[in-house]
C-alpha cells in the first residue's frame, strides 16, 4: 500500500526584545546562570506580571508578515503543568484569543507554489533550562530563560514531506528575520520546532495516529527524524511491530531514533483558564496602523529592487538575509549613489570585521549613512582603499565622521603630484637594484618599490596614479 505523510508544525520563535515578556529582567542568553531573574519570573507568590508592549508589537508583526488576521482583543491564559523549569507550575500563554489567526505561508515545492495554512500565532513565556548533574544525581535549574517572550506559530497539517517542512521553516525564518521579529537561529535555540506527524493510505481523508517530536533545533535532524518516524509508522501498521499511540517523543540524533517521552496531554489536562493577573490587550486602529506601517517588503520583493539597482543576484541575496544589512545598504546607497560599491563594502569588509569579532550580520551597528560617505570618499579618490578600511575599523568602535577622521589623521589622498614624485624619486634612488631589474623586464620588481612608496605616503595616493608615476620615474632613470 502507498502512504502519504501528514505533518503539522508548531514553531517556537524567541522574540527580539531587550527584556522578558512579563518582567523587566534582561532577555539575554549566554550569561551566568540565574543572573537575569526576579521574583516575578521565578514564580514567587504574590508577584504581578506586566506585559512587555514590544513583545506584543512583534507578535502582531509576525501575524501580519504571515498574512494572519490580528485579533483586536487578545488575552493571556494559564496553562497548568508541573515541571521544575516552570517555577509557577503554569505557563502564561494564549489559548482563548491568540494575537493572530488564519494566516498562510507560501512555499515553493517541486510541484510549484503551495500555501501552508497557519492556524494561529500565540504569545507565551519560555520555560527555564535544566542541567542534569550526574555527580550529585540532582537537577540544576537556571531561570534566565524563564519568561523570555516567544511566539508559537501553529500550522495546519498541510505539509507532506521533509522537503516541504524545510521550505516552510526557511520561509518563516526569512520573513521573521527580515521583519526583525527574531534572529531565528536554530543552533542557538531561538527557533525550535515540534513536528506533529501521521501517515494515512494515499487518497484517504482520515488522519492517522499522530505523534509529536519536541524541540527539534536543526534542519538536518528534522529531516532524519521525519524519515525515521514515517518508517516507524508504516512498520507498525503493516507489520504490527508496535501499537501506535498518540504521544510525545524525543528525537535522539546520535542514535538516529525517537523515544516515547510521555502520553500526550490533551487540552483539558492543561486546565486552561484566563490569567487574572494579565490584563487583556485591546489593539486600536492607531496601534494596528503603526505596526502595519513598519512592515518591510517581503524579502524577495526587496531582492528584486536591489537587483534593479544594479546588484548581482548573489549580493542581493546576501543583503536580504538580514534586515539590518539591508537597512545599512539602503542608507549607504542613499548617501553615495554607489550601489555595487556599497554592497561590496558590506559583503566583504563589514562582514569580515563582524566575523573577526565573533558577531553575526544582525550585529552590524555602524551608521549606513556614514558608510555611504566613506564609500564615496573612496570612489572620489579622496581616501585610498587601504586607509578607508582602517577608518571602517574605527567606525565599528565609535561613531566617527569618516571625512573628519581622515583629515584629522592625515589620510586624505595627496593631490600634490610634485610631492608624490619627490617621494618616488627618493625610493627609486635608494633601491637601484629593484629599479634596474624592472628596467630589465622583471615586472614583479616594481612591487617592493610600490609598497615602499605607499608606506612613505601613508597610503594617501591613488594606487593607479602612483603606479603610473613610479613606472615613469624608473624608466626616466
Partner 1 sequence: MNKEILVRLEKLNQLRLTEEQEAETLAFFAEREADMAIVDAVDTQEVERMVHVMPLENVLREDRAIEPFEREALQAGAPAAEDGYWQVPRTVD
Query: What residues between 142 and 171 interact with partner 1 by CB under 8 A?
Result: 142-143
Does residue 94 bind partner 1 (CB under 8 A)?
no
Give the separation between CA 80 and CA 75, rounded to whole angstroms. Answer: 16
Tell me the closest approach of the beta carbon of residue 84 to partner 1, in angstroms: 5
Torsion of CA 155, 160, 162, 164, to 10 degrees: -70
Does residue 285 bind partner 1 (CB under 8 A)?
no
Q: Which of the ranges 126-134, 238-246, 298-306, 320-328 carries the binding residues for partner 1, by CB under 8 A?
A: 126-134
Residue 212 β-bridge partners? 196, 248
Does residue 82 bind partner 1 (CB under 8 A)?
yes
Does residue 252 bind partner 1 (CB under 8 A)?
no
Contact with partner 1 (CB under 8 A): which of 188, 207, 245, 261?
A: 261
Nearest to 192, CA basis, from 207, 173, 178: 173
Q: Which is nearer to partner 1, 111 or 136 (CB)?
A: 136
Does residue 131 bind partner 1 (CB under 8 A)?
yes
Nearest to 198, CA basis, from 180, 189, 210: 210
Edge-first strand order for the sheet with 77-80 is 90-93, 77-80, 273-274
Contact with partner 1 (CB under 8 A): which of 10, 54, 296, 344?
A: 54
Q: With beta carbons less than 8 A apart as the criterion, state whether 453 and 474 touch.
A: no
- Residue 108, sorted as left (phi over 0), alpha (psi -120 to 50) or beta, turns out to be beta
Q: Which is nearer to partner 1, 82 or 187 (CB)?
A: 82
Tell me the closest approach of the beta carbon of residue 43 to partner 1, in angstroms: 11
Does residue 344 bind partner 1 (CB under 8 A)?
no
C-alpha grid cell, residue 319: 543583503
CA distances from 408 to 175, 367, 400 (A): 43, 20, 11
Tell me the closest approach of the beta carbon of residue 396 to partner 1, in angstroms: 24
Q: Which is nearer to partner 1, 37 or 377 (CB)?
A: 37
Does residue 273 bind partner 1 (CB under 8 A)?
no
Q: Where are the alpha helices (DSSP H) in 285-384?
A: 285-294, 299-308, 313-319, 323-336, 339-344, 351-356, 368-379
Does residue 132 bind partner 1 (CB under 8 A)?
yes
Q: Say how far residue 226 (Cα) sits from the centre of its chain.
A: 25
Site string for partner 1, 21-40 (x = CB under 8 A): ---xxxxx---xxxxxxxx-
Does residue 51 bind partner 1 (CB under 8 A)?
yes
Contacts to partner 1 by CB under 8 A: 17-19, 24-28, 32-39, 42, 44, 50-56, 73, 75, 81-84, 97, 130-133, 136-143, 250, 261, 265, 269, 274, 276, 279-282
Amino acid at each position: 500500500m502507498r502512504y502519504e505523510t501528514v505533518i503539522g508544525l508548531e514553531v517556537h520563535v524567541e522574540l527580539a526584545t531587550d527584556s522578558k515578556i512579563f518582567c523587566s529582567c534582561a532577555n539575554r542568553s549566554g550569561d551566568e546562570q540565574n543572573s537575569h531573574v526576579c521574583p516575578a519570573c521565578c514564580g514567587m507568590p504574590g508577584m504581578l506580571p506586566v506585559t512587555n508592549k514590544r513583545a506584543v508589537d512583534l507578535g502582531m508583526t509576525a501575524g501580519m508578515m504571515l498574512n494572519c488576521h490580528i485579533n483586536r482583543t487578545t488575552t493571556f491564559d494559564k496553562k497548568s503543568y508541573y515541571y521544575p523549569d516552570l517555577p509557577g507550575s503554569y505557563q502564561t500563554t494564549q489559548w482563548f484569543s491568540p494575537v493572530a489567526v488564519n494566516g498562510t505561508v507560501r512555499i515553493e515545492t517541486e510541484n510549484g507554489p503551495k500555501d501552508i495554512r497557519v492556524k494561529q500565532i500565540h504569545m507565551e513565556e519560555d520555560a527555564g533550562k535544566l542541567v542534569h548533574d550526574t555527580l550529585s544525581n540532582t537537577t540544576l535549574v537556571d531561570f534566565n530563560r524563564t519568561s523570555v517572550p516567544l511566539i508559537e506559530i501553529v500550522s495546519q497539517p498541510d505539509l507532506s514531506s521533509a522537503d516541504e517542512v524545510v521550505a516552510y521553516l526557511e520561509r518563516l525564518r526569512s520573513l521573521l528575520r527580515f521583519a526583525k521579529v527574531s534572529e531565528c537561529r536554530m543552533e542557538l535555540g531561538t527557533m525550535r520546532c515540534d513536528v506533529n506527524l501521521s501517515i494515512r493510505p494515499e487518497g484517504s481523508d482520515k488522519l492517522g495516529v499522530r505523534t509529536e517530536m519536541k524541540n527539534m533545533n536543526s534542519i538536518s535532524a528534522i529531516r532524519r527524524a521525519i524519515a525515521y518516524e514515517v518508517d516507524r509508522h508504516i512498520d507498525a501498521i503493516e507489520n504490527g511491530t508496535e501499537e501506535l499511540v498518540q504521544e510525545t517523543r524525543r528525537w535522539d540524533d546520535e542514535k538516529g531514533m525517537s523515544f516515547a517521552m510521555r502520553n500526550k496531554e490533551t487540552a483539558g489536562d492543561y486546565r486552561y483558564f484566563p490569567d487574572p493577573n494579565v490584563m487583556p490587550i485591546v489593539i486600536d486602529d492607531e496601534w494596528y496602523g503603526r505596526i502595519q506601517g513598519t512592515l518591510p517588503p517581503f524579502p524577495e520583493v526587496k531582492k528584486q529592487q536591489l537587483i534593479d539597482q544594479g546588484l548581482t543576484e548573489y549580493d542581493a541575496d546576501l543583503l536580504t538575509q538580514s534586515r539590518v544589512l539591508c537597512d545599512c545598504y539602503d542608507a549607504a546607497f542613499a548617501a553615495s549613489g554607489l550601489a555595487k560599491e556599497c554592497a561590496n563594502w558590506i559583503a566583504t569588509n563589514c562582514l569580515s570585521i563582524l566575523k573577526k569579532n565573533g558577531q553575526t550580520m544582525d550585529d552590524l551597528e555602524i551608521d549606513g549613512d556614514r558608510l555611504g560617505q566613506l564609500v564615496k570618499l573612496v570612489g572620489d579618490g579622496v581616501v585610498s582603499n587601504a586607509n578607508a578600511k582602517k577608518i571602517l575599523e574605527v567606525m565599528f568602535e565609535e561613531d566617527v565622521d569618516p571625512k573628519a577622521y581622515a583629515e584629522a589623521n592625515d589620510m586624505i589622498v595627496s593631490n600634490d603630484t610634485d610631492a608624490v614624485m619627490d617621494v618616488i624619486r627618493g625610493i627609486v634612488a635608494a633601491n637601484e637594484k629593484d629599479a634596474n631589474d624592472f628596467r630589465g623586464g622583471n615586472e614583479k620588481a616594481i612591487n617592493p618599490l610600490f609598497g615602499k612608496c605607499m608606506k612613505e605616503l601613508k597610503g594617501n595616493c591613488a594606487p593607479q596614479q602612483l603606479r603610473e608615476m613610479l613606472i615613469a620615474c624608473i624608466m626616466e632613470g
